[in-house]
Chains A and B, each alone.
Chain A
Amino acid sequence: MNNMDTIIVSPIGDIPPWMSDTIAKDAGKFFGFNARVEKVLDDIFFAYDATRNQYHSTIILEKLAKNAPDGCIKIIAVTKEDLFIPILTHVYGEAQLGGKACIISIARLVAGLEVEIADKGCKRIVKEAIHELGHTFDLRHCEDEMCIMHYCRRLDDVDRKSSQFCRYCNIFLADNIRDLCG
């Protein structure tokens, strides 16, 4: 593995530093790359849709991938804003499948929770961050309800699923990282 291959965690707006740090620490551990926090986008107004009062995540991903620093293998943005893709009412996050960039919104993940103190909210955020990063490593949604790559329809399901890849996703991830790094 190249030492230059780093996962960047990029907070957008007012994201508590401990949140970005926790995601970076866990992302490094899960994927076996260096990881660090670095602000890449100052704001995401360019993706704002006034009629929906939400932000179009696909547009953010394009800019994020384009502005990713040298040596960045994957980049994940974290925002408090509510995200959407045109056909759906909302998304918790979005990723470029097998690509460079992904994003999560904490808006719905921590709804009703005290962000600064809620351990539950933190676990949800990390799980969804690893989930979206998993997509950038070309992993699809997993049918195993306990696997971190399982697509959760409700927040209860996010809380219930584990913080680990199942054995199948572990093998697929190892295959994909091997292909990626040659």
Chain B
Amino acid sequence: MEQTRILVVDDELIIRESLAGWLKRDGYHVSSVSSGEKALETLKINSFDILLLDIQMDGISGMDVLTHVKENYPDIDVIMITAFGSIPSAVQAMKSHAFDYLLKPFDPDELGVLIQKLIDHRGRIKENLFLKEEYEQKTRFESMIGQSMPMQEIFNLIEDVKDTDTTVLITGETGTGKGLAAKAIHSNSRAANGPFVSVNCGAIPKHIMESELFGHQKGAFTDAKETRKGRLEVASGGTLFLDEIGEISMRMQIDLLQVLEDKIFYKVGGTQPISADFRVIAATNASLEQAIKNRTFREDLYYRLNVITFTMPTLRERKEDIPLLAEHFLVKTTQEINRGVERISRDAMDELMLYEWPGNVRELSNAIERAVVVCKTGTITPLDLPIVKTLEDELKKKYFSLTDVEKHHITKILDETSWNITKSSAILGIDRSTLYNKIKRYGLKDYRDK
């Protein structure tokens, strides 16, 4: 489900709890941590849209976290929380690209309005990306390629469902070709002459989703200057492909279920029923069963969609298809960008076969495209592939700098002595003040029982 994810970073428990509780009632997904260090750790594991960040904290300060976030997670927007006495820091934070700041305690209106403003701002950015992606998708067509057993099984399943109007749910990791499978089902079905309408539920901003799907009557809302058909209506007589169905909002799930059950729908602001005459294919890379347990996906909609399900194999499960796919992408890319790259060397192909491809066929396609661009000769070699580690990368992985070794060793001794500074400095052979300086310099923290 599309839900704004907020991380609250504040060293005061009571502030964290009250803020998180308030935001949860507003429907946001909220996590909270007590320090800058923990915020940076959390950001490595989970993704967030907004950070509510206290400026003054012990250890890594709010300003340092802001700098780190802007460098490493530029898509996250940061609102600084500040006390009356630290307004100059808040101004400094704005210069460092914080979205805004709040002076605590703040009025509930102020908080609500600011977060809504930020979400609208993010929505507009997403809308632009969505329009760009739409354009790119329209200018691109690929067919399904594969001789491996898993792909043969997929082809058989597509053959089995082609003459029915049954709803199909396609699962599989990102980049495995769920969209291509949906298109293949459509192209081989009785509705092949009808439209294939794709809706990326994860890419369409929430505020325009209803109008995108159902269309709208002129005057239904401020920007509705003309009556417009929605994608459900455009898909009439063809196939409606709902990609990333797991991202659809709970409200939209209710509307969609109603359409699938009643076979009619209404434009936004309209009173005339429109017949829903299309086949539905849905796809997801998420576990909908888990989403049901988390109460972010409706069980009744799941059973309505899950009439026939098949799972696209990962590229790891069909490595024998890699040469065929790589050659296909090579020909396609050289034609598109008019480069004279004719072949992939045996060594490069070996690297392609050895790699695990977490991004699946899409990652392979991108890797070949990049290799064609950087290739200096007519043959792609291992060095042209973004998947091949350079000597420098390997060295970084295998060996540590002196600083890393020192930091690691001091941490180990401190942990072993339960952060007894006297004992640790004696073992390390340095005086207490030097140890304190090093703890400060490396930002080391005692996390025991916290």
Is the Cβ of B26 less than 8 Å from the Cβ of A151?
A: yes
Instruction: For residue B298, give the distance in angstroms from its CB to the closest CB of chain A.
Output: 8
Given known A87-B19, A140-B27, contact A171–B111 (CB-CB < 8 A): no
Task: For B109, list chain A residues within 8 Å (CB).
Answer: 153-154
Is the Cβ of B26 less than 8 Å from the Cβ of A89?
A: no
Cβ of A88 under 8 Å from chain B: yes
Which among B10-18, B182-190, B337-345, B412-420 touches the partner chain?
A: B10-18
A89 to B107, CA, bound (A): 5
Cβ of B104 under 8 Å from chain A: yes
Interface positions, chain B 100-121, Cβ under 8 Å from A, are 104-109, 111-113
Cβ of A172 under 8 Å from chain B: yes
Cβ of A79 under 8 Å from chain B: no
A141 to B4, CA, bound (A): 13
Cβ of B59 under 8 Å from chain A: no
Task: For B113, list chain A residues within 8 Å (CB).
Answer: 153
Which among A1-9, A68-76, A90-98, A115-123 touches the partner chain?
A: A90-98
Given known A58-B17, A88-B111, A89-B105, contact A140–B26 (CB-CB < 8 A): yes
Is the Cβ of B108 less than 8 Å from the Cβ of A90?
A: yes
**Which of A86, A95, A135 contacts B18, CB < 8 Å?**
A86
Can you pick out 27 interface pairs between chain A and chain B where the beta carbons lie within 8 Å of each other? Answer: A58-B18, A84-B105, A86-B15, A86-B18, A87-B18, A87-B19, A87-B104, A87-B106, A87-B111, A88-B18, A88-B22, A88-B106, A88-B107, A88-B108, A89-B105, A89-B107, A90-B107, A97-B24, A140-B25, A140-B26, A151-B25, A151-B26, A153-B109, A153-B112, A167-B254, A168-B250, A168-B251
Cβ of A85 under 8 Å from chain B: yes
A172 to B26, CA, bound (A): 15
- Nearest residue (CB) in B for A92 is B108
Is the Cβ of B22 less than 8 Å from the Cβ of A85?
A: yes
Residues of B within 8 A of A (CB): 12, 14-15, 17-19, 21-22, 24-27, 104-109, 111-113, 250-251, 254
Number of A-B contacts (CB under 8 A): 62
A165-181 CB mask vs B (1 if < 8 Å, else 0) is 00110011000000000
Instruction: For residue A96, give the distance in angstroms from its CB to the closest CB of chain B.
Output: 8
Is the Cβ of B108 less than 8 Å from the Cβ of A91?
A: yes
Interface positions, chain A 10-55, Cβ under 8 Å from B, are none
Instruction: For residue B259, give the distance in angstroms from its CB to the closest CB of chain A.
Output: 14
Instruction: For residue A105, give the distance in angstroms from its CB to the closest CB of chain B.
Output: 13
Given known A89-B108, A153-B113, A168-B254, contact A97–B15 (CB-CB < 8 A): no
Is the Cβ of B105 less than 8 Å from the Cβ of A97?
A: no
Residues of A within 8 A of B (CB): 58, 84-91, 94-95, 97, 135, 140-141, 151, 153-154, 167-168, 171-172
- Nearest residue (CB) in A for B14 is A86
Instruction: For residue B287, give the distance in angstroms from its CB to the closest CB of chain A.
Output: 20
Is the Cβ of B18 less than 8 Å from the Cβ of A97?
A: no
Instruction: For residue B34, give the distance in angstroms from its CB to the closest CB of chain A.
Output: 15
Residue from the set B22, B24, B108, B111 with the largest chain A CB neighbour count within 10 Å:
B108
Is the Cβ of A89 less than 8 Å from the Cβ of B17?
A: no
Of all A-B residue pairs in the complex, the 6 with the closest CB atoms, nearest first, are A140-B27, A85-B18, A153-B109, A87-B19, A86-B18, A168-B251
A97 to B28, CA, bound (A): 12
Residue from the set A88, A95, A171 with the largest chain B CB neighbour count within 10 Å:
A88
A168 to B111, CA, bound (A): 25
**Which of B22, B26, B251 contacts A87, CB < 8 Å?**
B22
Known: A86-B14, A87-B111. 7 other contacts (CB 8 A): A85-B18, A87-B15, A87-B106, A94-B21, A97-B21, A140-B26, A141-B26
Is the Cβ of B108 less than 8 Å from the Cβ of A141?
A: no
- Nearest residue (CB) in B for A96 is B21
Task: For B251, list chain A residues within 8 Å (CB).
Answer: 168
Task: For B21, list chain A residues within 8 Å (CB).
Answer: 58, 85, 94, 97
A158 to B19, CA, bound (A): 22
A94 to B105, CA, bound (A): 17
Task: For B24, list chain A residues within 8 Å (CB).
Answer: 97, 140
A171 to B24, CA, bound (A): 19
Instruction: For residue B356, give the distance in angstroms from its CB to the closest CB of chain A.
Output: 40
- Nearest residue (CB) in A for B299 is A175
